[in-house]
Amino acid sequence: MKPPPFDYADPETLDEVLRLLAEAGDDAVVIAGGQSLIPLLNLRLARPEIVIDPRRVAELSSIDFGERGLQAGAMARAIDVEEHPDVDQIAGLSTALGHIGHIQIRARTTIGGSVAHADPAAELPALLVALGGEVVLQSAQRGARTVAADDFFIGPLMTVREPDELLTSVWFPAHNGAVTVVEVAKRPGDFAMVGAVVGYGVANDVVVDPTIVLFGVGGRPVRLPATEAILSGAAPDQDTFAAAKAHMLDNVEASGDAHASADYRRHVAATLVERALLELS
């Protein structure tokens, strides 16, 4: 199908973007890469009055790798981050990015767009939660606020972002230890039926800073603090990882849909996590 009619604005300053957003509120959508929005427009499932495009606001495309982490402007393209020489400073980031769609999609997908869109099967939101990252939201009326990733996501395609707020940047903290992203999809590049971001460090021969976040199992990324607690301070070995898996099998809640049943998701999530833990050791 073709998109329904809408107005379009591509202002040159962030202030102007925010002003338009405040004015239009629920009637507006912000277009970043468009790789999630335009499919919705093309099915007429999204019917905005106005599409606001921040592409001319140069500062929103910044990519800053520092010792403590990556500060990515919302409009930074996934491919530009993926190909950045410093991308491996953020554990798991390169792997997560590589799972997003296909390389031709990543040529337009933005970091901010992917996070703001909050697809329950998406990798970047899960990675952000796993790393304990943050987003910055800005509005004309109330200025900027920082929201922890875990507080940002509410449910499928739902976040705490107010209609008059723009997500302007994403902070990926560097993690102590290795991180990997694993998933099961019908084909490479498809939405994950179930996936996990798994990471931990090792200090004094025990696991420290474990992080396990599932995606594709419910409406938003699901952190597993109880499973992480099993790993914390334990030896990074097969027995520990098997215990983590067993705990997950008994406790993880997943939802079922046309693509995968709850049972499948729960079991496979546990299997994926165990394998990821082994892979990282």
Q: How far is the CB of 148 from other proteins (least distance, A)?
A: 31
Helix (H) / strand (E) containing 234: none
First to last CA, the chain: 48
How is residue 228 written in tokens? 């992480």
The residue among 176 and 191 lying less far from other proteins, judged by its C-beta, is 191
Measure the CA–CA gap between 231 and 207, rounded to whole angstroms. 6
CB of 5 to other proteins, least distance (A): 5
Provide the 10 A C-beta neighbour count for residue 38: 15
What is the nearest approach in angstroms of other proteins to the Cβ of residue 31?
Answer: 7
Whichever of 128 and 277 has its CB closer to other proteins, that residue is 277
Q: How do beta strands 69-73 and 28-30 pair? A: unpaired
Q: Which residues are at the interface with other proteins (CB under 8 A)?
A: 1-8, 10, 31, 34-35, 38-39, 41-44, 51, 53, 55, 79, 98, 101-105, 107-108, 184, 186-191, 193, 258, 260-261, 264, 267-268, 271-272, 275
Tokens of 14: 């962030």
Judged by beta carbon, residue 130 or residue 193, the one nearer other proteins is 193
Least distance between other proteins and beta carbon 99 (Å): 11
Residue 248 beta carbon to other proteins: minimum distance, rounded to whole angstroms: 13
Nearer to other proteins, 232 or 261 (CB): 261
Residue closer to other proteins by CB (options 3, 177) is: 3
Q: How far from chain centre, in Å, is Cα 18?
A: 23
Tokens of 117: 């869109």
Residue 192 and residue 182 in contact, taking contact as beta carbons nearer than 8 Å: no
